[in-house]
Structure 1
Amino acid sequence: MSDRMAVSRRHLLKTTSAGFGSLALASLLADQGVAASGVAMPGNPMPHFPAKAKRIIFLFMKGGPSHMDSFDYKPQLQKDDDKPLPFDKPRVQFAPTGNLLGSPWKFRPYGESGIQVSELFPHVAQCVDDLCIINSMHGSNPAHGGACMKIHTGSDVFLRPSMGSWISYGLGTENENLPGFITICPTLAHGGTKNWSSAFLPASHSGTPLGIASQPSDQARVKHVQNTRLDRTSQRLQLDLMQSLNRDFLETSGPDSSLEARIKSFELAFRMQSEMPDALDLATETAATHQAYGIDSKVTEDFGRQCLMARRFVERGVRFVQVTHSNTEVQWDQHGNLRKGHEQNAAEVDKPIAGLLQDLKNRGLLEDTLVLWGGEFGRTPTCQGSGRDGRDHNPEGFTMWMAGAGVKTGIQYGETDEYGYYAVKDKVHIHDLHATILHLMGLDHLKLTYQHAGRDFRLTDVAGKVVQGILT
């Protein structure tokens, strides 16, 4: 290298000091959660415009709950029970089905809105005036694996960052002592870790799993969150030495995203010791709160505990919390035993969900927290299995609902046909759902991009539009 091309480290720092100052300021503003207009950039997360929601809780019903048995009342389906479907079924189906199957459960109107809700959900029904029910959801994949990845990542065939990872990447964290994205008791089936992975986004935006679906939620803990051998001062000295060695290696080897992520993860793990144990300590809650979430009942205690943990995390500034209901013995996937399976599943989640909604509302958290409920698809109005007691997968039309920040309340948006097979009015694709969620969080889905492998990627890929009709 010639003398004219050689640049000393001191000279470089001196001549670029203004640039480093700007980077430091941007980092400080991001850490404080200061909102500003502009494009979210790596290391400088911020909303594109004022957000209506600061955080989100996703209540994921693994397996695909039946919409015409829960929140999409179809009187014509009841009238035509056991008759043939009077129009063509989808060209691609998961499995053959027979005649129409009316809902085994009664519906009745609730609240000032008068929305019809199934007797499967008597507690959530009491909150119906706080719900924005989208009856016209539709996707593209009738298989669990692809559909789960689609609802979580926007893609059913490729490894892509999850919704929680995109939000963490775009907005950063409100609490540097906790992860920005936590998933409670996630299922390891049908995509597994890919459903909460950051993929090609920086690894610090991956979801932090607490427990797994096949274990009781009282075991949903962060392993080794407390060091019983060293005090914090000793740990800090130990960590500082390790981090200095890592940074020295980075300086000589050049950019290494995996090592940079590891450095950040070590720092977060150290800081989590001060706050994670308290966040997970449900014993500090009142007996009345435990009862409201159903933790005092064997049927509801497991999911109730997950919902209460979700509330404790969002009130401490965690951006995205997913709570998964995936009973490993009886999922929402009732190809047979529909009556027994859906009754058991609904009984496990109904009271805890209502308790969560009411608790968030009472604490003023529902004003800036978005709650999303749903599965990877719905079910067919035609029957499957022996004894006319099952429904097949149906991505052509299904229901999800939202509550909280920025959405209209006590409404049903969109429609499926008179039997519930296809979304037919004000259709909402999964890409549209994602675009709308990002919008509520103050993020423009067209601008929230990340360049990888020579092209720009986004959660909504090359599609998606904000559903203006559900926004306040």
Structure 2
Amino acid sequence: MSGFHSKLGSASGFDPLFSRRQFFTRGRNLLGGAALASLLGPALNGGSAFAADGSPVDGPIGPHFAPRAKRVIYLHMVGGPSQMDLFDYKPKMKDWYDKDLPESVRNGQRLTTMTSGQSRFPISPTKYPFAQFGECGMWMNKELLPNLSKKADEICWMRSLHTEAINHEPAIAAMQTGNQVTGRPCLGSWASYGLGSMNENLPAFVVLVAIPSNREQEQAISARLWSAGYLPGEHAGVSFRSSGDPILFINNPPGVPDDLRRLSIERLNQVNELGYQRLGDPETQTRIRQYEMAFKMQASVPELTDLNSEPQHTFELYGEEAKKPGSFANTALMARRLAERGVRFIQVYHNNWDHHSNVAGRMPSQCQDVDRPCYALLEDLKQRGMLDDTLVIWGGEFGRTIYTQGKLSPENYGRDHHPRCFTMWMAGGGAKGGAIYGETDDFSYNIVKDPIHIHDFHATVLKLLGFDHERFTYKFQGLDQRLTGVEPAHAIEDLIA
């Protein structure tokens, strides 16, 4: 390599820091690619491309067909909500109280180390009353979800999600990135990469972490969950803090006026541009764009996070908790404000759904956190005419077991992780309101009808965003990588309006 550098440097004046890899990266298929692009135009991406408003555009980046959803608000309940205590009604389990789960049902399923050593697997049916809601007749917990139940006919219910992951870290990674191994791009990064930004002053992908009112058993939430992975770094999520300044260093230091900050960024970008011209590292361009975005956010973020402009009826809808920074209600309201300002993907995390114990004590506080704000978010988007093109997603990384973990008590029972079946829901953005898809057995343990693998779920979300998941790829390490991986997956048409 050093010989290659020295020969180019002495014989032709070529930049000695320009490596052989950079030479072939910059020049590969240049003429052939230009000729092909001129012949295929928008078909280069496998079909006509469309802008966010549905109008055709040229170029390889963009959806394959007109999207139903322009933006996504993804509400992830970290820890795995208990489906049989919220949405998957199993009345026959009352007759099974304290009886062991039959081996014919468990069928040798892999268990976590938290229950694999138990001598018994006593069934603990839910203690909560259920009722049917809406014309669709969706069974829901009527005590803990009185507000969300009003939206039964506007929500697309998915009761047969399943995954291979049985522990939190790989399960959350799989739900967010399609793979249990961390380091892949998440769904928000794919949306940013495929559709780009709809605003100039905020990131395309924003992450909000809500603080639960009960903090008994939280799971770790880290930036690798909103990483861009092998996609360009500009598509990574930007995390807003729940207290203090929403973003570190959003304000200038004392004595540094805006014009001096602007000048310093311009000079820094000039240096970065020289580095890019010399070395050709595409991440340098990402750095330039991020500095520009950071400067614009110094003006846009304070306005975004100032709720004084919200009328009183907003807080009557979301509740007074919406005024409390970091609460789930406040986060839901912030998600709406981000969406109406053109943020493409808003990822929200709400912790403490890992109910290994004290389900009866913790489930009420968890539902009180999210019930009214989820209803309010859907109603708010609807009133503003945004729900039709905003996809709202709610769910965790897996479900919970019908048998109890530890000692069985009607007032203090726990549930272990359960990847074989769990419930999620979607609303707006082309999702089919009132649809109830998938069924589980009497134990809410195995799927008996219409299974939805997480790759099928991802393929469906991508279709609502305008993408054929099999053609939506990114070349990395010689392979056409995609969110849905290499195993067979399909978008589920029955979930789409």
TM-score (norm 2): 0.83
Residue 377 (structure 1) aligned with residue 395 (structure 2): no
Q: Choose 365-374 or 411-420, whichever is displaced more.
A: 411-420
- Counterpart of 2:159 in 1: which secondary structure? strand
Aligned 8 A contact 1:37 1:49 in 2: no
Query: Closer, same or farther in 2 for the Cα pair 1:297/1:195, shift >3 Å?
Result: closer
User: Which of 357, 362, 370 is matched with 1:349 structurally?
Assistant: 370
- Give ranges in structure 1 of 5+ residues lacking alignment: 9-15, 212-216
* Greater alpha carbon shift after TM alignment, 51-60 vs 185-194: 185-194
Give, as a single letter, the amino acid of the residue that structure 2 aligns with 1:124: L
- Structure 1 distance, partners of 2:325, 2:438, is 31
Using a 3 Å threshold, how does the CA distance of structure 1 residues 252 and 301 change in structure 2: closer, same or farther?
closer
Aligned to 2:109: 91
Q: 1:108 to 1:40 in 2, by over 3 A?
A: farther
- Are 2:281 and 1:251 aligned? no
Secondary structure, aligned partner of 1:400: strand
Does the residue aligned with 2:320 lie in a helix, a strand or coil?
coil
Over 3 Å counting, the alpha-carbon distance change for 1:91 and 1:296 in structure 2 is: closer
Moved more, 31-40 or 402-411: 31-40
Whether 1:408 and 2:402 are equivalent positions in the alignment is no
Give the structure 2 partner of residue 113 of structure 1: 136
Report the CA distance between 1:88 and its aligned residue: 3.6
**1:142 paired residue among 158, 162, 166:** 166
Corresponding position of 2:334: 309
| Pair 1:339 & 2:360 matched | yes
Structure 2 Cα separation of the partners of residues 40 and 135 of structure 1? 39
Is 2:51–2:62's contact at 8 Å kept on the other side of the alignment?
Answer: no
Deviation at 1:127, TM superposition (A): 1.2
| AA of the residue aligned to 1:207 | G
Letter in 2 for 1:347: Q
- TM-score with structure 1 setting the length: 0.87
Identify the residue that residue 435 of structure 1 maps to in structure 2: 459
Mapped to 1, the partners of 2:378 and 2:87 lie a distance apart of: 17
Q: Deviations over 1:112-131 (max 9, x none)?
A: 22211102211111111111
CA distance in 2, matches of 1:296, 1:92: 41
Q: Are the counterparts in 2 of residues 294 and 301 from structure 1 also a CA contact under 8 Å? A: no
CA distance in 2, matches of 1:262, 1:449: 24
Please say if 1:164 is aligned against 2:188: yes
Determine if the alignment matches structure 1 residue 207 to structure 2 residue 237: yes
Distance 2:221 2:385 in 1: 35
**Residues 94-103 or 299-308, more deviating:** 299-308
What's the counterpart of residue 97 of structure 2? 81
Displacement of 1:233 in angstroms is: 3.6
Amino acid at match of 2:173: M
User: In the alignment, what sits opposite 2:492?
Assistant: 467
Where do residues 16-35 of structure 1 align in structure 2 (5 Å cutoff)?
A: 33=52, 35=54
* Aligned equivalents of 1:352, 1:184: Cα separation in 2: 15
Cα 1:190/1:142, change in 2 over 3 Å: farther
C-alpha distance after superposition, 1:177-225 (max 9, x if no partner): 11111110179955622110001110000000112xxxxx344601222
Structure 2 residue 393 is the aligned partner of structure 1 residue 393: no
1:148–1:190 CA contact under 8 A, matched in 2: no
One-letter code of the match for 1:241?
A: R
> Which residue matches 1:197?
227
Give the equivalent residue in structure 2 for 1:13: none
Shift of 1:296: 4.1
Q: How far did 1:84 drift? A: 2.3
Residue 214 of structure 1 corresponds to: none
1:12 corresponding residue in structure 2:
none
Between the aligned partners of 2:296 and 2:316, the Cα distance in structure 1 is: 32
Q: How does 1:452-463 map to 2 (within 5 A)?
A: 452-463=476-487
Question: Residue 62 of structure 1 is aligned with which of 78, 92, 107?
Answer: 78
1:175 maps to a residue whose letter is N
- For 2:271, give the aligned amino acid: L
Question: Equivalences for 1:166-181 in 2 at 5 Å?
Answer: 166-181=190-205
Q: Distance in 2 between matches of 1:365 and 1:161?
A: 27
Is the CA contact (8 Å cut-off) linking 1:64 and 1:375 kept in structure 2?
A: yes
Map of 2:19 onto structure 1:
none
| Secondary structure of the corresponding residue to residue 132 of structure 1 | strand
Report the secondary structure of 2:370's partner residue. Answer: helix
| Alpha-carbon RMSD | 3.0
Q: What is the percent sequence identity of the aligned residues?
A: 39
Q: What is the deviation of 1:36?
A: 6.3
Where 1:435 maps in the other structure, the secondary structure is: helix
Give the Cα separation in 2 of the matches to 1:155 and 1:204: 21
Describe the shift of the 1:457–1:39 C-alpha distance in structure 2 as closer, same or farther (beyond 3 A). Answer: farther
CA distance in 2, matches of 1:196, 1:299: 25
User: Do the aligned residues in 1 keep the contact of 2:276 with 2:282 (CA within 8 Å)?
Assistant: no
Any unmatched runs of 5+ in structure 2? 1-6, 15-30, 43-48, 212-217
- C-alpha distance 301-246 of structure 1, shift in aligned 2 (>3 A): closer
Distance in 1 of aligned mates of 2:154 and 2:62: 29
- Contact kept, 8 Å, 1:133 with 1:402, in 2: the verdict is yes
| Structure 1 residues 126 and 231, CA gap change in structure 2 (3 angstroms) | same
Alignment partners' CA distance in 2, 1:108 and 1:162: 36
Aligned partners of 1:158 and 1:403: how far apart in 2?
28
CA distance in 1, matches of 2:93, 2:313: 41
Looking at structure 1, the residues matched to 69 and 382 of structure 2 have their Cα atoms a distance apart, in angstroms, of 14
The farther-off stretch of 385-394 and 94-103 is 94-103
1:268 corresponds, among 293, 296, 301, to 293
Secondary structure in 2 matching 1:246:
helix
After superposition, give the CA deviation of every residue in 1:336-390 in whole Å (9 maximum; x if it has no partner): 1110011111111111111111111111110100000001111011111223401
1:424 pairs with 2:448: yes
Partner letter of residue 466 of structure 2?
Answer: G
Letter in 2 for 1:406: G
Report the CA distance shift for 1:273/1:298 in structure 2 as closer, same or farther (over 3 A): closer
**Are the equivalent residues in 2 in contact too, given 1:300–1:349 (CA < 8 A)?**
no
Q: Matched residue of 1:273: which SS?
A: helix
- More deviation, 132-141/452-461: 452-461
Letter in 2 for 1:56: V
Q: Secondary structure at the match of 1:179?
A: coil
Out of 124, 134, 147, the position equivalent to 1:101 is 124
CA contact (8 A) 1:137 1:430 kept: yes
